[in-house]
Amino acid sequence: MDDLIVEKRAHALCITINRPHALNALSRACVDGARTALARAGDDPTISVITIRGAGDRAFCAGGDVRAVHDLLAANDIDSALEFFTREFALNAELAAFASRKASVAIWNGIVMGGGAGVSCYCNVRVCTERTTFAMPECAIGLWPDVGAAWFLHRDVGHAFATYLSLTGARVRGYECKIVGLATHYVELSHWERNVAHKVEALGEGCRAEDVAATVSALESRAPGDFAASYGASDEGRCAIEDVFGNDRRKTVEDILREIDVRRSTARNDGERGFWSEASTSMRKASPTSLAVSLELMRRARGQSLEWSLATDNVLIRKFLVGDDFKRGVDAMLIKKTGAPPTEGWSPTSARVVDDYFAGAPESKL
């Protein structure tokens, strides 16, 4: 079975990540195949738009295949592990370059995490559905939000919410992805498949991203009838996120955790209390080094370019692959599935450790 299915339909090149048994996690074959498909679409004047989705009904893409990378590291094949990430980051850059010339659409037909965001958040049109669950949970496995996330999260949701998503791995579901800015449109999946997809595919040669967006907007679904924003997506919650995660003072991760605990203890209702409890629990389970590096990255990334972000990611990945936290985190969370930190514990961290991780990274304007 091919890991990637590429089909031309009218003036659209339709890409399907075809690993439903692995929640469509990106294999090297997926990454290389997508890069080839992009080059083909870019050179073909009869292709005006690409669409990207995942096979099956559970996931768009749950991220890069970090279990395979874990196995490479276990075999002491660091070069191949590093090559997987550098190829993935190159794909991210190529997706962004393609979106500057032609239209691109991602249909989030399920879980969108980590590398799944990296193959979709560069698209001009990002369609969330009632099945969408978006998250950047890398700190839980001893990594950091890579794939240029420091750039596109700032662009889409702003500094505070980007930092919140990065440190907590919080999940944003369904229509809320549009409310907070991650998605550009909301379309129920059955409606997309019956009524919208073929209209996008049938747009004429030379159509622009604006034409695709207008077509989807005209057929967009309304918010679910029983929809009520969760605390984190509400105006009140987003103001609180701004206060806790967006303050430009040099807060440490511990400072943020203390503020979260105060918010939890003074919460006025169960929704607010549950929100801060979940944030606290998630951060306290995560790798301290991942949290500290992610916080520093989000600060450095303000006002930076995508090129800066991906160059920084390429520096950081070399540091993370030779450390212990990634191997321990994948083993605990994805292989043994304990739902708890590694039994060996996380590596200790400090300001000096964080400085070492960023040694050799591009300079920040700030």
Q: Is residue 100 part of a domain?
A: yes
Q: Is residue 183 part of a domain?
A: yes
Structure tokens at 153: 């999260």
pLDDT reported for residue 108: 98
pLDDT reported for residue 204: 87
How far is the C-alpha of 241 from the C-alpha of 235, rounded, in Å?
10
In 31-167, which ranges are E strands?
49-54, 59-61, 103-108, 111-113, 125-128, 133-135
Q: Which amino acid is at 22?
A: A
CB-based burial, 130-166: b 16+ in 10 Å, e otherwise:
bbbbbbbbbbbbbbbbbbbbbbbbbebbbbbbbbbbb
How far is the C-alpha of 157 from the C-alpha of 179, rounded, in Å?
10
Indicate if the pLDDT at residue 196 is higher than 90: yes
How far is the C-alpha of 54 from the C-alpha of 61, rounded, in Å?
6
Q: Is residue 64 part of a domain?
A: yes
Q: Is residue 364 part of a domain?
A: no
CA 217 → CA 1, 119, 122, 213, 299, distances in Å? 35, 22, 19, 6, 34
pLDDT, tens digit, 9 for 90 and up, residues 25-53: 999 999 999 999 999 999 999 999 999 99
**Cβ neighbours of residue 232 closer than 8 Å, sequence gap 6 or more:** 164, 170, 172, 238, 241, 275
Q: Is residue 37 part of a domain?
A: yes
Q: Is residue 357 part of a domain?
A: no
pLDDT, tens digit, 9 for 90 and up, residues 316-339: 999 999 999 999 999 999 999 998
Best CA proximity match to 151, nearest among 170, 171, 166: 166
Average pLDDT of span 229-255: 94
pLDDT reported for residue 248: 76
Indicate if the pLDDT at residue 100 is higher than 80: yes
Average pLDDT of span 191-214: 95
| Per-residue 3-state assignment (H helix, E strand, C coil) for 55-92 | CCCCEEECCECHHHHHHHHHCCCHHHHHHHHHHHHHHH
Indicate if the pLDDT at residue 365 is higher than 90: no
CATH number at residue 90: 3.90.226.10
pLDDT reported for residue 250: 84
Q: Give the CA dihedral 270, 275, 276, 279, nearest 10 degrees.
A: 150
- Domain holding 86, by residue range, is 1-132+174-227
Average pLDDT of span 211-239: 95
Contact 320, 314 (CB under 8 A): no
Q: Is residue 148 part of a domain?
A: no
- Specify the number of domains making up the chain: 1
Whole-number average pLDDT of the chain: 96
Q: Is residue 150 part of a domain?
A: no
How far is the C-alpha of 139 from the C-alpha of 235, rounded, in Å?
26
pLDDT, tens digit, 9 for 90 and up, residues 101-121: 999 999 999 999 999 999 999
Name the DSSP letter for residue 232: G
pLDDT reported for residue 366: 58
pLDDT, tens digit, 9 for 90 and up, residues 39-90: 999 999 999 999 999 999 999 999 999 999 999 999 999 999 999 999 999 9
Best CA proximity match to 159, nearest among 233, 246, 241: 246
Average pLDDT of span 275-288: 98
Q: Taking the model in full, what pTM does it have?
A: 0.96
In angstroms, how far is the first alpha carbon of the chain from the final one? Answer: 48
